[in-house]
Amino acid sequence: MTQGFALFETPIGLCGLAWGERGLVGAQLPEAAPGAAWARLRRRYPDAVEGPPPPTVQRTIERINDLLAGGRDDLTDVELDFSVVAPFNRRVYEIARAIPPGETSTYGQIAKAMNEPGAARAIGKALGENPWPIIVPCHRVLGADGKSGGFSAPGGVETKARILTIERARTSAAPTLFDLEFSVAPQRGR
């Protein structure tokens, strides 16, 4: 049972978390319209009461803000209530959680890690149902060709690209601005 939810500002906009007795039951990424994030949380968790987060949830909020400001926290120890998802999805989410900030994987690589080589589409579906975006970093999973694939969170692939940019993730073999080494001209008179 969901006990509560709270909205909070982040570098990418208004996000939210919902929690229960066994950990977080959901996370919410920013919506385009004012009030939409609150409305979506109310629809997803109609029995939840909006209020101040307990200390563990407040710490998670701080860590999410740090990550979305360019930090490297992987959030893997955040307590999630996996009873709200199917067993297959849980396996997908556990593998996705192991992808560090700034790195990416593919649907096929996750299928291989699960020992289910033909499951790439099912993995994409599971990630599309991810109730904990950011904490279960579905944004770090790309198509086999390095393209973004889908992203069911508000803002779609634009939001995915924005978060990957914040994390300085490599999404292709092409060099990025982060790969360039800048030289400093020698001082005059030498």
Instruction: Tell me what pLDDT residue 182 has.
Output: 43
**C-alpha neighbours within 13 Å on the C-beta side of residue 14:** 13
Instruction: Tell me what pLDDT residue 144 has.
Output: 80
End-to-end CA distance of the chain: 71
**Could you tell me the mean pLDDT of each successive run of 10 residues in the chain, 190 residues long?**
89 95 94 87 94 97 96 96 97 97 93 94 93 94 72 68 86 51 50
Instruction: Tell me what pLDDT residue 160 has.
Output: 81
Could you tell me where the DSSP H helices lie in the chain?
Answer: 36-44, 55-68, 87-96, 107-113, 120-128, 156-166
* Rounded Cα gap, residues 68 and 152, in angstroms: 19
For residue 130, give the 3-state DSSP assignment.
coil
For residue 73, give the 3-state DSSP assignment.
coil
Instruction: Tell me what pLDDT residue 189 has.
Output: 57
* pTM, two decimal places: 0.84
Please give the C-alpha separations between residue 40 and each of 17, 25, 118, 129, 162, in angstroms, as whole numbers: 11, 14, 33, 14, 21
Q: How many CB atoms lie within 10 A of CB 39?
A: 11
Q: Catalytic residue positions?
A: 138
* Rounded Cα gap, residues 189 and 157, in angstroms: 51
Give Cβ neighbours of residue 106 (< 8 Å, ≥ 6 apart).
120, 141, 142, 143, 144
Instruction: Tell me what pLDDT residue 1 has.
Output: 62
Instruction: Tell me what pLDDT residue 156 has.
Output: 67
Could you tell me where the DSSP H helices lie in 1-86?
Answer: 36-44, 55-68
What CA dihedral angle connects 155, 158, 162 and 167, to 10 degrees? Answer: 100
